[in-house]
Amino acid sequence: MLLKQSIVLLLLSLGPGAFAQSSMKVANYAYGQPGTDTYEAFSFWVKNGKRTTIDYTYGKDRKETPLQFVGKSQPGSKASFTVQFPNRYTLYVTPMGNQLQVMDEQKKYRKTFIWQYEGPINGVGTFCDVCAQDEKEAMRLIQRYYLK
């Protein structure tokens, strides 16, 4: 995890031109407030026009675990996709407008995640070149690379 964060920080420090050749993008969705125990986030990565990794981050300390893309699914009438934790726990991810409804098979876990802005606030912070710049761009990444 520390290595991955270091790599991301290094890439971000290189500036806008560094990503022109690799065309890396990420759609970040969160539930709850960062820095709290109830915080959860999903990062859906795309590189060179292909779906790559999915990261799940949770809790006050932002612990991170990779998820596996299992495939497209349809646990109802809406197009969805399935992700799986290393312990084989499975979640269904369903776009709902510009948000993601995430639930398990038993519907005991059911939360709505919203697009998470990554960048400066009131002029403080670093701009994230690889991050989807708004909720519409984030949803386009999900639709194009995770549902087709």
Q: Is residue 119 part of a domain?
A: yes
Proportion of the chain above pLDDT 70, given as a percent: 80
Q: Identify the band that residue 7 occupies on the pLDDT scale cut at 50, 70 and 90.
A: very low
pLDDT value, residue 2: 45
Domain count, the chain: 1
- Measured between alpha carbons, how far is 40 from 53 in angstroms, rounded to an integer? 17
Q: Which of 14-18, 60-64, 140-144 has the lowest mean pLDDT?
A: 14-18
Cα-trace Rg, the chain: 15
Q: Does the residue 12 lie in any domain?
A: no
Give the model confidence (pLDDT) of 42-74 as tens digits: 999 999 999 999 999 999 999 999 999 999 987
Query: Quick check: is 112 in a domain?
Result: yes
Structural domain contains residue 17:
no
Domain with 58 in it: 23-146
Domain contains 10:
no
Distance CA 3, CA 116 (A): 23
Please indicate, yes or no, if residue 5 is contained in any of the structural domains: no
Q: Rounded to a whole number, what is the distance in angstroms from the first to the last CA of the chain?
A: 29
Collect all residues with Cβ–Cβ distance below 8 Å to 11 and sequence separation of at least 6.
18, 19, 24, 130
Cα dihedral across residues 94, 99, 35, 134: positive or negative: positive
Q: Could you tell me the pTM of the whole model?
A: 0.81
Indicate whether 92 belongs to any domain: yes
Instruction: Please provide the average confidence, as pLDDT, over all residues in the chain.
Output: 86
Q: Could you tell me which of 147, 57, 42, 21 has the C-alpha nearest to residue 95?
A: 147
Confidence of residue 118 (pLDDT cuts 50, 70, 90): confident
Q: Is residue 54 in a domain?
A: yes
